[in-house]
């Protein structure tokens, strides 16, 4: 069987298990194009695999994503008799330093929200007011951008202060409650939206671009880059990448945890609730935020110090 047909067969198999399989599927399709779509699966050499894994640049985290995609694919192929052995290398390179999200300060958040109104040099197909509301929603709820842009009118319940998230990253829907303050902001946005004649039907997108077209991720991410530059926010830790729109989600989590520590709440008990709220599949994806910033570590340290003093006093 040729590589392209088997990869499509494998992708359909993974999707039948309930996975979106988007990233790994795209890497596998790229691998097929790199070696030649019509090449027989048993004719692929170890050199072709290594060339695809390493590419022309330095080793990044994508090396390991591509490796995992190919590993699953070849295991599938061998278990079903399509290929006799795997040409994947046994020795792996050293992993690059882990990606560190950027945590915006509250002052930087205010700068971002303000810059959203004035970042445009020329009028484009996305209204600054709408972009501002999207940013406020992302920070106020910790949603992924794809989840926010997928919201329909019927998904936003302003009487109960709750969002209905459907078909998220891992095909898991969830309800996301939000504050009265954010409800007020969204009510103002809804009035603004209605005055501009956007569709009001339940299945209509909550956020629209010009000409009643739904916004896409690339459009909003591009707008955010200009907003961040307008606000003068950049990394000073030597990282090659600049603060991203997705870092609003990380900032939401860290600020929520910091607030709980300041309130002397039982953070370990509340952590699973935050994990469900954010739509994480595993608790470990949420617990990583516990060591994200110095501010959070300081609050955790204060709580531990208080615990030790109370233990010494009564114990």
- Count the alpha carbons within 13 Å of 85 in the hemisphere toward its beta carbon: 6
CATH dotted code for 106-231? 1.10.443.10
Q: Which two tokens stand for residue 47?
A: 């050199």
**Beta-carbon count within 10 A of 121 CB:** 8
Model-level pTM?
Answer: 0.75
pLDDT score at 241: 84
The pLDDT tens digits for 283-302 are 888 888 876 677 766 665 55
**Spatial contact of 293 and 103, defined as CB atoms under 8 Å apart:** yes
**Spatial contact of 250 and 139, defined as CB atoms under 8 Å apart:** no
Helices of type H across the chain: 3-16, 22-35, 46-54, 61-79, 106-115, 128-141, 145-149, 180-195, 217-231, 247-262, 267-278, 284-287, 294-314
pLDDT score at 297: 64
* Dist. CA 76–CA 285, nearest whole Å: 27
pLDDT score at 306: 53
Mean pLDDT of all residues in the chain? 88
* Dist. CA 181–CA 188, nearest whole Å: 11
* Dist. CA 117–CA 119, nearest whole Å: 6
Please state the rounded mean pLDDT for residues 127-143: 96
What region, left, alpha or beta, does residue 171 occupy, with left being phi > 0 and alpha being psi -120 to 50 degrees?
Answer: left
The pLDDT tens digits for 47-82 are 999 999 999 888 888 999 999 999 999 999 999 999
The pLDDT tens digits for 211-260 are 677 888 999 999 999 999 999 999 988 777 899 999 999 999 999 998 99
């Amino acid at each position: 069987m040729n590589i392209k047909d088997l990869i499509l067969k494998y992708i359909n198999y993974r999707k039948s298990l309930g996975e979106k399989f988007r990233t790994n599927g795209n890497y596998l399709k790229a691998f097929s194009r790199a070696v030649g779509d019509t090449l027989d699966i048993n004719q692929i050499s170890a050199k072709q695999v290594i060339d695809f894994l390493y590419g022309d640049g330095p080793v990044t985290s994508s090396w390991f994503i591509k490796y995992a995609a190919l590993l699953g694919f070849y295991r599938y192929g061998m278990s079903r008799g399509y290929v006799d052995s795997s040409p994947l290398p046994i020795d792996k390179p050293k992993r690059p330093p882990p990606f560190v999200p950027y945590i915006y300060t509250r002052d930087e958040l205010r700068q971002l929200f303000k810059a959203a109104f004035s970042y445009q040099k020329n009028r484009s197909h996305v209204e600054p007011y709408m972009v501002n509301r999207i940013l406020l929603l992302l920070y106020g709820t910790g949603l992924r951008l794809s989840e926010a842009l997928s919201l329909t009118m019927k998904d936003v319940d302003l009487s109960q202060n709750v969002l209905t998230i459907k078909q998220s990253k891992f095909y898991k829907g969830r309800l996301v409650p939000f504050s009265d303050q954010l409800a007020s902001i969204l009510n103002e946005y809804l009035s603004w939206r209605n005055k501009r004649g956007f569709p009001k039907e339940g299945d209509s997108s909550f956020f629209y671009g010009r000409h009643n077209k739904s916004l896409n991720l690339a459009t909003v991410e591009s707008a955010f880059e200009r907003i961040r530059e307008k606000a003068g926010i950049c990394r000073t830790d030597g990282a090659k990448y600049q603060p991203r729109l997705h870092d609003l989600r990380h900032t939401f989590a860290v600020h929520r945890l910091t607030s709980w520590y300041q309130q002397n709440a039982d953070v370990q008990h509340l952590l699973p609730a935050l994990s469900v709220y954010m739509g994480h599949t595993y608790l470990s994806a949420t617990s990583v935020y516990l060591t994200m910033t110095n501010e959070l570590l300081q609050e955790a340290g204060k709580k531990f110090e208080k615990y030790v003093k109370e233990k010494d006093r009564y114990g």
